[in-house]
Amino acid sequence: MATMNISLPDEMKAFVEAQVKSGLYANASDFFRDAIRDRMWTREALLEALVEGEKSGIDDLSPREAFEEFLKANP
């Protein structure tokens, strides 16, 4: 496993430390791995939805309605 050093503003560092202290994460690395996995999944789901939408053709939904449907399907 690779090592990476990052710099954070004090407020973000305190947030990460609070998450670890709460017991949700064993350490800061666990927190960041989880955050990155979440970001990767969200990005991938959005790209898949865009491709699916492009293939489906024209829809009667407004962009806002379509986005709200996406959010319901991908909580």
Residues 6+ apart with CB under 8 A from 14: none
* CA dist., res. 56 & res. 68, Å (int): 17
Q: How confident is the model at residue 66 (pLDDT cuts 50, 70, 90)?
A: confident
Q: How confident is the model at residue 11 (pLDDT cuts 50, 70, 90)?
A: very high
Q: How confident is the model at residue 49 (pLDDT cuts 50, 70, 90)?
A: confident
User: Of residues 29 and 62, which shows the higher confidence score?
Assistant: 29
The pTM of this model reads 0.59
pLDDT at 63: 87
